[in-house]
Amino acid sequence: MIALSVNLNKIALIRNSREGNYPDVVAHGRICLDAGAQGLTVHPRPDQRHIRPNDVRDLAELCRSREGAEFNVEGNPFAEPLGDYPGLLPLVLKALPDQCTLVPDSNDQLTSDHGFDLRRDGARLEPLIAQLKDANIRVSLFMDPDLEQIGLAKDVGADRIELYTGPYAEAVARQGDEVESIFATHCAAAEHARQLGLGVNAGHDLNLINLPRYRTLPGLQEVSIGHALTVDAISMGLDNAVTAYLNCLSGN
């Protein structure tokens, strides 16, 4: 079974456009879990454009209260503290999620758009990964489907990789001829990861149109989906949107 982890960033983004706590991020996380999602994902950033540190702590408590629900916190471990954002590792080590997905996004990026270059960053990441694993937190690295880089992910101690699916989603959206070659590259990357003993997650711009194909990726364990699911929830309702994605992942 491929797990669905619903990314709540866009719910938080809407909330932050006004004063107060409407919509309530934790309440919407509860709806997702009640609808059958296997987990929740957040990606706090130093500028707190969406998820805030207190959201991380509150959602961690929500997931701990639900048997089998996993909490995944994403972010750049090298980003400096800013205001009451303490930095990713202090935040994660206090919340103790099930998984931490390390992502090489800069503060001024609109969204994540590339995986780690571990030839450059591997030595800095290795002790941080060890620190997270010592706290019994599974570590995933956001990666492009590059076989050499995936080998380095194993070397620095990662438990899983999350394949960046943006180019695949873009190619499907424009019905480009490169869809087949991109998907084949992702399949080869997933197989290579499995041979190394790494788990395989995926995420970024996956939706109900491109997910039926991508769900056949060898050994895929988890997808984190936020933007498209939130958009679909506008017309479907959040619980129905979660159900639609779960059905898609199960091949129904």
If you search the block for the tokens 């070397």, which residue do you land on?
155
**Residue 144: how many CA atoms within 13 Å on its side-chain side?**
13
Q: How far apart are CA 118 and CA 236, in angstroms?
A: 40
Please identify which of the residues 28, 50, 192, 204 carries the catalytic annotation. 204
Please identify which of the residues 28, 43, 50, 186 carries the catalytic annotation. 43
Query: Does 74 qualify as catalytic in the annotation?
Result: yes
Q: If you write DSSP's letter for every residue of 32-62 in order, what string do you get?
A: HHHTT-SEEEE---TT-SS--HHHHHHHHHH
Query: Does 43 qualify as catalytic in the annotation?
Result: yes
Please identify which of the residues 74, 186, 192, 222 carries the catalytic annotation. 74
Query: Does 227 qualify as catalytic in the annotation?
Result: no
The candidate with the shortest Cα–Cα distance to 182, out of 165, 204, 158, 207, is: 165
**Catalytic residue list:** 43, 74, 204
